[in-house]
Amino acid sequence: MKLPPFKLERYFARYEFNTEFLLCSSDCEAMSIADLLALEEGTVERFHGHWLGYTESLGSPTLRKEIAAMYATTTPGDVLVFAGANEAIYLFMMAALKENDHIIVHAPHYQSLSEVAKGIGCMVSPWRAREENGWALDLNELRHLMRPSTKAVIVNLPHNPTGFLMPRADFDALNKFAQENNLLLFSDEVYRESEYDLADRLPAAVDYGPHAVSLGVTSKTYGLAGLRIGWLATRNRELYEKIASLKDYTTICNSAPSEFLAEVAMRHRMKLVNRNLAIIKHNLAIVDDLFSHHPSLFSWHRPKAGSMGFPKLLQGDVESFCDELVMKAGVLLLPGSVYDDTHNHFRLGLGRKNLPQAAERLEGYLTNLNLNRTL
Ligand SMILES: Cc1ncc(COP(=O)(O)O)c(C=O)c1O
């Protein structure tokens, strides 16, 4: 299988570790191992004594028990643990799809959600989020995208990069549609539990039935990307077994220290969620303020969940804007072109503690830009 470069990851490869301010990160602020272990008494000694042999391929039973408890209907036997969410996406597609299958994918999207399927030889139709509608998805459009060969619908809710969250009635209807049409629903839920208003939280897709697969990870809402622990939850036994057996060709099993730490994190995940939501909400107020100073330069749909938004640059070309900003001011934004967006959007990250300083640097840069224009 041939896979093209992952545009977003290649962009980060150029800048992530040499730029002062990352103002487009998708994950929330991370923490140290010491801070994580401080959440539970006795874990420091247990971590030091943790065995460094191979681990169980499906994921450690105690970690899977913690993950299964996040959902209403799952048991540890419905959960499979991977090295991050990206491995889970890859293996789901390898197991579920074959050449000439058709899939429908929420767009714009994190590239692997369509690219792996294309690599397998599938046809991919984008199901486009409509900015004029607050980045909503229209279920009537989904009906029109259907073909006899449609095998799966892929959605990402809360959405990277717009922060869109589908209304509950639409998500119910989407699940019903998938069930009635014998489709798999792959629901990338890596930003779940980061809803700004708890009332907006959607049920996990896995809890609707065996047509669905829910994807989760420690990286985003919980701010622990360095653990590289992601998971799939599904009550579809056949699919579960196929994915489990393909994992023998990628990572075989997960990192033992990471599984230990992920288990602690999941047991205390509400503390991590509250810490990270406080950072996001503080940052949102600063960003709202910044955009309100520049109404002719930016348009901005406030996200409903997650650690990012997708504002639009109203003047000039977004790629050059981002290039100049990172070179001259040391602030990294992510041009929408890495998502194949052609409407001058860029991704703005909301989950990092140093956003206030990054926003100040951006504001200074914009002021300078205006001064130079008027001179
Ligand atoms: C929507 C979405 N899915 C999956 C992933 C992959 O997550 P991880 O890097 O933890 O494997 C990301 C990462 O940015 C993402 O935004």
pLDDT digit string (tens) for 282-332?
999 999 999 999 999 999 999 999 999 999 999 999 999 999 999 999 999
Ligand 1: centre distance to CA 160 (Å): 9
pTM: 0.97
How many other C-beta atoms are found inside a 10 Å radius of the C-beta of residue 197? 9
Ligand 1: centre distance to CA 364 (Å): 31
Q: What is the mean pLDDT of residues 181-191?
A: 98
How many other C-beta atoms are found inside a 10 Å radius of the C-beta of residue 344? 19
Q: Is the dihedral of CA 323, 325, 327, 328 positive or negative?
A: positive
- 10, 11, 191, 217: residue to mutate for ligand 1 pocket, most atoms within 8 A of CB: 217
Whole-angstrom Cα distance, residue 310 to residue 312? 7
CB 139 within 8 A of CB 149: no
Query: Tokens 């509950």 belong to which residue?
Result: 168
Segment holding 50, helix H or strand E = none
pLDDT confidence of residue 374: 65
pLDDT digit string (tens) for 325-361?
999 999 999 999 999 999 999 999 999 999 999 999 9
Atom from ligand 1 closest to the CA of residue 219: 10
Helix (H, G, I), strand (E, B) or coil at 225: helix
Ligand 1: centre distance to CA 191 (Å): 9
DSSP3 helix / strand / coil % (the chain, rounded to 5): 45, 15, 40
Q: What are phi and psi of 161, to 5 degrees?
A: -110, 5
pLDDT confidence of residue 188: 98
Ligand 1: centre distance to CA 369 (Å): 34
